[in-house]
Amino acid sequence: MLKKVDRGVLFMLGSALISALNGALTKILSEDISALEIVFFRNFIGIFIILYALKHTAAKLKGGKIYMLFTRGLFGFMAMILFFYTITVIPLGEAITLNKTSPFFVTILAYFLLHEHLSRRTLVALLIGFLGVILIVKPFGMTFSYAHFLGILGGFFAAAAYTSIKKIKDIYDSRVIVLSFVGMGTLLPTILFLSAPFVEVPVSLTFLFPEFVLPITLHVWLLIIFMAIISTLSQWLLTKAYSASNLSIIGVVSYTNIPFAIGFGTLLGDKFPDALMFFGIACIIIGGILVSKK
């Protein structure tokens, strides 16, 4: 039988792979619809998937602290829209690398809010992981811009969402936690779409108030449906991962979606990674393995 931490690592690896695939699908869909629409459709379909799962097997945990569910949903939505938007305006590998600042924020939040112990091994692994991130970003020739700031801000909100999972994982079924995420991820975009004709915002915030345009082509709908299905699966795996293991451990393992994303990016036409980038990937993997050991 797998140890508890091992299950958490496997859950996160699965979530990371699907997350990278979602990034690639977002890049493709952004040619036809806005980032906010991608968020809306992904979560709207996800609601029905989770409700079906709950109908099939009812949740057994008692619940309580419903405000924490709303908090998890809000943080999750903010993380998703900022992440999806950065994917539409900067390279896929670069956007996902910026999002990988979330484990750093997770570690800080876990230390201050959950009082988790940070071992020397965890700190070393985090340093190795971030070294890998730097080596991967450098070949892109990344320059810091507003889009990059939004990417890092998305990483912070993702960390806040992950930390909230740890706070409620013992009172809510993982499917109910995911339902709070997809529910808020449907409600908030709806409010923003309805508000769009009546508000004037700075150019820097127009991505939050786009015009809603219903997709009309079959291939776009098929991509949306496929993305919604695997995204819901990814959220479930992520929730199970953060419920099963120490936040700092899972945070470092989540770095593996960077090499996954680079692989999908290459398939979409990105330049094949050079030796420096491969060394960065190796650092990330080594850091994840190091921190996962007892």
pLDDT of residue 63: 73
Q: How far is it, in rounded angstroms, from Cα 253 to Cα 47?
A: 27
pLDDT of residue 133 exceeding 80, the answer is: no
Q: Is residue 193 classed exposed, middle or buried when 0-12, 13-18 and 19+ CB atoms within 10 A define those classes?
A: middle
Domain spans, the chain: 4-292
Cα 250 to chain centroid, rounded: 13
Residue of 11, 8, 35 whose CA lies nearest to 227? 35
pLDDT of residue 227 exceeding 80, the answer is: yes
pLDDT band, residue 209 (cuts 50/70/90): very high
Q: How far are the Cα atoms of 85, 154, 207, 250 from residue 127, in angstroms, in the given order?
A: 28, 21, 34, 15
Q: Which of 75-89, 175-189, 264-278 has the lowest mean pLDDT?
A: 264-278
Structure tokens that stand for 293 in this block:
């050991």
The amino acid at 208:
L
Structure tokens that stand for 147 in this block:
């889009």
Among 4-8, 53-57, 59-63, 187-191, the range with the most confident prediction by mean pLDDT is 187-191
Residue of 135, 31, 39 whose CA lies nearest to 93? 135
Q: How far are the Cα atoms of 71, 198, 207, 209 from residue 204, in angstroms, in the given order?
A: 25, 17, 7, 11
Q: How far is it, in rounded angstroms, from Cα 228 to Cα 92?
A: 19
Q: Which residues, at least 6 apart from 71, have a Cβ–Cβ distance to it below 8 Å? A: 164
Q: How far is it, in rounded angstroms, from Cα 235 to Cα 135?
A: 28
pLDDT tens sequence across 262-292: 888 888 877 776 777 678 777 777 776 665 5
Q: How far is it, in rounded angstroms, from Cα 160 to Cα 109?
A: 7
Residue 127's CB: how many other CB atoms inside 10 A?
12
pLDDT of residue 92: 85
